[in-house]
Structure 1
Amino acid sequence: MDLTTPPPDLYGRPGPDRFLQRVTAFGDRYPRAMGRPLLRRRPGLAAPRPTPPLQLAVTGHRVIATEVVELRLAAPSGGTLPAWQPGARLLLTLPSGRERHYSLCGDPADRATYRIAVRRVADGGGGSAEIHDDLHVGARLTARHPRNGFAFCAEPAVLLLAGGIGITPLLPMACEAHRLGLDWRLVHTGRSADSMPFTDELRALDPDRVTVLPDTDRPGAEPPSAADLLGYAPDGAAVYCCGPAPMLAAVQAAFEASPARALHFERFGAAPILDGRPFTVQLGEDGPRLDVPADRSALDVVRELRPDLPYSCHQGFCGTCRVQLRSGTPEHRDRRLTEEERAAGALLPCVSRAPEGETLVLDL
């Protein structure tokens, strides 16, 4: 599978997930619609007002593994938080103004508290360092309502594969699979046991279904291959995988020969660019022209000159880096924008590109 194309849809099929695009647009406008009848707006009525951001306070901040902290967030008033389901993300606006996505890893039944876990990334743009060093109990921040691009479909047989901090979206899935009585397995790989969060919590669910594979337990040995990891899958299982890009690429390559038959995955970093071609971006009609090499994103190139340009997911999912296109022919590769938004000039430079030699003029 070409890793520069959007990830498979909820049922493992390649190509853009149009259903997810519609759900995303729906979720932005109606985050509380679940469980309520959807009312059609009568002609002539005013459009609904945008949903205000959530106001959150840090109620817990503790180290749970090497370079990993757990944050617990609640409404300052102690009120009920919006519902979410396994796989959902929370887009936080930190006190510095940085925006970052983090997977919710608590209990969806707990409507009073959200839980996230964040690994410190030395060269990650400062978001993780701010959370580790500055967001102590009592700190305030805002967030968008939870959104889910990695939905758990609760197939009868499930294999959950986590690499490092990729355990965060899979932990609630394991809890849900256990609650529903599914035939599930979870495999968590990592550099060392002390760097892998939630091990005790996972084993408490069912130690016979959880396998933890730290590299330090096999000194001098090769890490398990993707075929080894997929070998844990029950026949006909759906695989949910979250981890670093090399792990995802290996699992995708080995998937066809595995006993599983559906693959869902989520990245926590940008996908490698394998079929990129060089092009140019221009910042404004009279602004500087920047060359975008075949192996780099327009976002990374522009941020060298404009480090204030916001970003978050690097995957064309969140829309944080959205810019306006003045002219040029783009190659949209995101999973966020609708066809109408693209036609109106919206562009996500974290993943979108252009034909070789093309110039995209951005309203920056």
Structure 2
Amino acid sequence: GRMAPAAGLVVSIEFPAGCLLESLYVGCKPDDEHALALAVDRVADFVKDLYSDLEEDLTVECGANEAKLAEFRTKAEASVAEWRQKLQAADSRVAHADECLIRADVAKQQLNSMRDSYHRELQALREQLHLQSEAQKGMTDFTPDDVCLFDATQYAFDDEVGVLLKQKALDLQQRYNDARARFQIRLDDMSAKLENMKWLVARKDILLEKLRERGSKGECDVPAVATDLGTQGEASAEVKNDGAPDKARGLRRKVTRGKTFLDKAGRMAKATVGLARGWGASAKDKTICVCGNTLMPDARFCRICGEKRPDDNFVDQVHRCVCGNTYMPDSAFCRKCGLPRDENAMAPTATEDQKAKPSGQSSALAFVFGMAGRGAATSSARTSKRALTGDGAT
């Protein structure tokens, strides 16, 4: 009843490079030849299938390895070419550095030779000067020796330096020409603007002359003068234009703007003339200059325009505190000692000489002329409004 041990065949296949380790067990009886033949055939088929699969894997791996090898070869060739270029550039720089060193050595030798020649010639000249001084002291004739140890033809600039200097000179000349062209354009533009401004100033001078004539006659119809001046300006523009329509339109626009300005100046002048006619009634309150500035009580001239004070006698009537400080026109207390201002000194009474003075129409006309010359229409309008309302302080 005891079973005999089974017999069999064990086949082990190992391929470390391909990470292959396979084992096959085939059971058979030792005395059965047919079973042994079948076992051998089975082992052969197993080994054949195993190596067929391994061949396919090896083929795929071989293709991938060949592609990687080609990529590595391309990168290596590119790196080699880059390093070859770097080495060539380094060789060229080294060669240029060697050339520069050679040139520096040659230049150093030339400079040393020039220095030696210069010192020898200087020594010779000093010797000649000493002999000349000795001859002058001894009252004898002196014949100088012709000595020249320095020959400038032996030394010349390098061609490379000359080429670089020439190129730099050409660049500077081009920059100069460009800058000159730009400045010439600006100069032409400014010249044209200057001509236009001269023409406008001439128109304003004509206006001022007419204002002076009307003011001397007691008339001040400034809008009529402005209309007349505008008509003359248009006629002058047509004559000056000489048949060019574009320029004529530009001049007409300028004349229109001039008319607008002159209308404003006319309205301001009429208001100022009205103020001047009633100025004599309030001579005690003359604290405003013709330019609109508020005068200090002890001021004889305006600190802005430099005009003389309209009423000279008013200068002597100074508002002063007991401490000697001068009051501001609108101050109620002394800014130095703090004492309240004397109400009786707020508005001093005008003297008979002040009442006998003219109404101040000439000063008002001077105000008109000054503001027309400055072109400050807005500021002048505010000044006229302030003066008409009787507000003496700004």
Smaller-chain TM-score range?
under 0.3
More helix by share: 2
More strand by share: 1
TM-score (normalised: structure 2):
0.21
Q: Which has the higher contact order (CA 8 A, sep 6+)?
A: 1
- The structure with the larger Rg is 2
TM-score (normalised: structure 1):
0.22
